[in-house]
Amino acid sequence: MAKNKPVKLNVYLLKKGYSLADTIVEDGKMSESSVEIPNGGPGLLYINRSSPRPPTWADFLEPLDEDAISKLKVATVSAIVVLKAGDRFFAACFGHGYAYVEKRFVESRFGLRTCLNAVDPQTIRTLDKRTFDSLGKLSREQSTRPVTISEFGLEVDKDLLRSIVGKPRDEGFGSQIAGKDSVCVRVPITIAQLPKFLRKCLKESKKTDYKANFEFIDNIAEISDPDLKQELDVALIEAINDTPTTHKIWLAVPDIVDWEASAGFKYSTSKKEHCVDDIRLSTFQEKWEITGDVTKEHLKGKKVYQFNSAETAPLNSWSVYHCLYAEITSEGRLYILTEGTWYHVAQDFVKNVEKEVKALPTYAKPLEKWGDEHEDQYNKRIATKSKGQYALMDRKMIRHGGGSSSIEFCDLFSTDKEIIHVKHYSGSSVLSHLFHQGTVSAVMTAGDPEFRNKVNAKLPASHKLPLDGTFQASDYEVVYAIATREPLSFDLPFFSKVSLRNAFRELRVSGYRVSLAKIRRTKLAKIT
């Protein structure tokens, strides 16, 4: 008997409560017909077929042979089959059918769970991840050979695993399986065998085998469900309008900015509006007279503008929604909004992070208030007034490691061997950059005499680092100093806490002491 030809399946699990009366495709996008699925009962078939047309590159090649090129036509065909298998409905997509499925009907991360349970953990070939750092990178990594996930260098507290590709342990899933919201395989089955295969996928998705190698995926999950995101946006707006509850909701600049080149921020481009040196939810509401009456349209339609030093033109702009940081608890689950994206965070993970961050020592020495001045001016003032206690290292970049690599040792370095990094409080990604920068500098200092030699070239004689092998990281303290106009009891964004915890762990392994300092920013004129 001839073997069945492998067919590529891209399968979504539809949410509980879905019925065939629900249309999973936007009206008019695909034709819909009722069908009978062999061994599966009633189902739906969606089909979309575009008219043949010249490929996009035809005009470019037409001068070479107009008659031949004019005969070239291409068309795309997409299909979706909706059927029931077990007690759930599925959408099996063919061609570009996946692009037409309304995601509000889709069970988030069904494909990822199925894949992680089914895959041989020694055979990972590709993964997609989102990194919570200064760039908020979305990236794909691919190995030239099957490897374990640890060989990708995934940092489980910093990288959110979004999808994965590998070889399944069970040949019934084909030779390769990929998973995100949908599960993607190529298997030699017929339409009559499809319901049985989908029951197999559903059973696999419910297993907890993945915890042996991939338990970390339960810590943080990006929300892709449009209905849930809508519910969270409604809860967010209600919390903003209920003023006493907004202690976990604030505005923060979402990108790293050049503060020296900046005059500040405005909530419009009006020349009559004066720049403010930081963005706050209260001043945004006052500007547009919407206190107690904020809407989603206000948050997504209004913008924050960063202006150049002459206040003549914007340097950057972001929607207010993109600048919001919020922590919302709904039905006992914690959700976090940062840089325009909602995440669910496991409670045990939150508790562990909070516990470690709270145990982090506070810097023993009070740092002076920060007035109406740029970061470099503040650092210079502190160094000057210290009469030699602090050496100014701000913006004194160390070129090291080849290419254009440059590292800032710190902002201030004390005679008491305190390596101090100073940063104006901002969004999660900016603070994550601060913590990462301090870690890189400290690890390089401890492990590379050549780097220490380059640092010494910029230090006064009173602050030189040892080069004779007597350097001991345990003699030094890395201090993260964060300046804010908020009360000094202010809380860090959760993802910043994760980054701080990771930095603390790495620095502790290297032998350093670590502490956190908070600097009060005043509303006064420039301090002299």
pLDDT band, residue 525 (cuts 50/70/90): very low
Closest C-alpha among 458, 454, 475 to residue 394: 458
pLDDT at 508 over 60: yes
- Give burial (CB, 10 Å; 0-12/13-18/19+) of 275: middle
Task: Find residue 78's DSSP bridge partners.
Answer: 48
SS (H, E, C) 392-429: ECCCCEEECCCCCCEEECCCEEECCCEEEEEEECCCHH
Query: What b/e readout covers 352-388, taking b as 16+ CB neighbours within 10 angstroms?
Result: ebeebbeeeeebeeebeebbebbbebbbbbbbeeeee
pLDDT 10s digits, 341-365? 899 988 888 889 889 999 999 999 8
Please name the residue that has the structure tokens 């020296």.
260
Report which DSSP code applies to 331.
Answer: T
pLDDT at 199 over 70: yes
Q: 3-class DSSP state for residue 95?
A: coil
pLDDT band, residue 133 (cuts 50/70/90): low
Can you give the pLDDT at residue 402?
A: 62
Q: Which residue has the higher pLDDT, 396 or 316?
A: 396
Give the C-alpha separation, 469 to 322, whole Å: 48
pLDDT band, residue 244 (cuts 50/70/90): low
Residue 477, CA atoms < 13 Å, CB-side half-sphere: 18
Lowest-pLDDT range of 267-271, 418-422, 428-432, 499-503: 428-432
Give the C-alpha separation, 285 to 420, whole Å: 36
Query: What b/e readout covers 124-138, taking b as 16+ CB neighbours within 10 angstroms?
Result: bbebbbbbbbbebee
Can you give the pLDDT at residue 490?
A: 67
> E strands along 159-312, which residues?
159-168, 177-179, 183-187, 220-222, 249-251, 262-266, 303-308
Give the C-alpha separation, 124 to 168, whole Å: 10
Give the C-alpha separation, 410 to 84, whole Å: 60
pLDDT band, residue 204 (cuts 50/70/90): very high
pLDDT 10s digits, 69-122? 888 887 778 999 999 999 999 999 998 888 889 888 999 889 999 999 999 999
Can you give the pLDDT at residue 99?
A: 85
- Percent of the chain residues past pLDDT 90, beyond the cut: 41
| Distances in whole angstroms, Cα of residue 54 to Cα of each of 61, 69, 72, 74, 78 | 11, 8, 6, 6, 18
pTM passes above 0.75: no
Give the C-alpha separation, 482 to 480, whole Å: 6
SS3 content of the chain, % helix, strand, coil (to 5): 35, 30, 35
Torsion-angle region of 109 (φ positive above 0: left; ψ -120 to 50: alpha; else: beta)? left
Residue 187 burial (CB count, 10 A): 20
pLDDT at 135 over 60: no
Q: 3-class DSSP state for residue 136?
A: coil
pLDDT at 50 over 80: no
In the chain, what are the domain boundaries?
A: 7-218, 226-345, 360-520
What is the rounded average pLDDT for all residues in the chain? Answer: 87
Residue 20 burial (CB count, 10 A): 15
pLDDT 10s digits, 143-192? 888 888 888 877 777 677 888 999 999 999 999 999 999 999 999 999 99
pLDDT band, residue 421 (cuts 50/70/90): very high
pLDDT band, residue 1 (cuts 50/70/90): very low
pLDDT band, residue 132 (cuts 50/70/90): low
- Percent of the chain residues past pLDDT 70, beyond the cut: 93
Rg (alpha carbons) of the chain, rounded to whole number? 28
